[in-house]
Chain A
Amino acid sequence: MRKSILLPLLLTACSGDGEEATYHLVPDFADRATPVTCAPADLGEVAIEELRAATDTSFVVLDAAQRRVTEFSDDLRAIWSLEYDEYGPAAVDRPVSAALLADSAVAIVARGGLKLVILGRDGRLIHAERLEFVPHAVAATGDELLITAVPMGGSPGSLLFRFSGGAMEEVAVPPREYADMLVGALGNQAAVETLADGDALVVHRLLAPRAFRVAADRATVASVPLPTPDATAERIPFVPRAPVTAAQSGDMLVPALAVSVDRSRDEVYLLTRSGREVDGRWQRAILRADDHLGFLSAYTLDAMAVHMAILPRRRAALVGDALDRIYLCRLDADTHAE
C-alpha cells in the first residue's frame, strides 16, 4: 500500500535579492514519488525546439531544424504538418514556441526579428508583427494569445503580453529583480499555459519557485506558491554570478523545465528536478498539481527529460531529452491523492 505524501509545508523565505517568496516544499519528495520507467517512443526524425500538449488527445512539436510544426495524435501519428518559410513576409527565424489557434491556425514566436507570426495550417500568412520584447513562450485560448517576455535591462516591465483583436497589451505580471542583466534574463524566462476556465498560469523556469495565476479578464494577477521538492530547498536562495556557467547549474533551482496542463481534469504537471543526483546528473521528476498548484502527487523518471507534453487520455507524459530521444512515461494519477 502506498504511503500518502504528507501535506506540503508552506514556508516564507527571502531570496538573495531580498524579495519575499512563497513556495510549498514537498517533504520527502524523492523517496515518496512513484518511480516511472519511461518507454522509448518514435515520432520519426524530429529536433525538438518545443513539445507541447495541444488538446486532450494531441500534442505539437516545434522542430526548428526542419522548419516544421507538427500536430500528433496521442497515439503518436502525425495529424498535420506545416513547413514555414525561411525568407519573406511569412518567414520564421529562430522560433522558440508555438501554439494552436482554434482549428485552423498556428501562432509562432521567434527570436529572429523578435516576431509573432500567425500562419494558417496551409502555410498562408495571417498576421506577422515585430514584438517590442524578446519572446519566450506563447499560449492560445480562443482568439487570444498570451506571450511571455524575457526582460532585458529592466524592459519590458511585465513578463506577460496579450494579443487579441490585432492589439498587443501588457498584462501586469512582475518580473523578479536581479542585479545582473544575464541573470535577470535567465531567471525571468517563464512558461505560460491556459487553464480550462480561461485563467492562465505563468511559471518561472529557472532560479526562483515563482508562479502567477492570471484571471480570464487579464486584470487580476495573483502570486501562487509553487510546489517544490524538498531536496532542492537549499538551492532556492542561490543567485548565480556572472559569467553564468554550467558549473553553477548544479546550484541552481530549476522549478519548471516544462509545464503542461490537463484541462479535462484541471491538473497541472511540472517537469522538474527531484533533488537527487543520478550518475552525475539531476534526476527528473514530474509533479502533479491541481489548477491552483496544490500538490497532488509526484513521479520520478528514468529519462533525462527537458521537454514534456501531458497526454490526458493516456494518463501519460510524453517527454524528450536533450538528444531528441522521445519517451512515453505512464503516470498513475489515482495514487497519492491529498
Chain B
Amino acid sequence: MRKLIAVLTLAVATVALAPRSVAAQEADCTKNYVSCLNDSYQLSGWLQTLADLECFAEYTGCVTREIMKA
C-alpha cells in the first residue's frame, strides 16, 4: 500500500506538470483529480488511502470518457 501511495503521488506530479496546451476537457479531469486529492488530504490513515484510490479511479474514468467520445 505504501508503494501504491508513492505511485499515486508520482501520478499527481505527472498530471500537474502536464503541458498547458492540454484540452479543456482533460484540464477538467486533471483539475478534478487534484481537487479530489486535496480533499482527501484532510483524512488520515486508511481513509486517506481509500480516498486517494477513489480519486484516481475517478480520474481514470474521466480520461476514459474523453477518449471514448472521440
Contacts and interface: CB of A to CB of B under 8 A. Distances in A.
A181 B18 contact: no
Interface residues of A, number: 34
B12 to A, nearest CB: 11
A181 B7 contact: yes
A152 B68 contact: no
B23 A245 contact: yes
A82 interface: no
Interface string B48-70: 00100110111111011111111
A111 B15 CA distance: 21
Contact of A245 (B11, B26, B56): B26
B34 to A, nearest CB: 12
The size bracket of the interface on B is 20 to 34
Contacts of B8: 153, 181
Nearest to A277: B70
Given A111-B58, A114-B53, A306 B68 contact: yes
Contact of A150 (B10, B57, B69): B57
Most buried by B among A112, A134, A189: A134
A272 B26 CA distance: 22
A277 to B, nearest CB: 10
A94 B60 contact: no
A114 B55 CA distance: 11
B43 interface: no
Contact of B4 (A111, A152, A206, A254): A152
B7 A246 contact: no
Interface of B: 3-4, 7-8, 10-11, 14-15, 17-18, 22-23, 25-26, 30, 50, 53-54, 56-61, 63-70
8 contacts: A94-B54, A134-B56, A152-B4, A152-B53, A181-B8, A189-B64, A243-B14, A281-B70
Interface of A: 94, 96, 111-114, 134, 150, 152-153, 155, 181-182, 185-186, 189, 205-206, 242-247, 249-250, 252, 254, 257, 281-282, 304, 306, 322
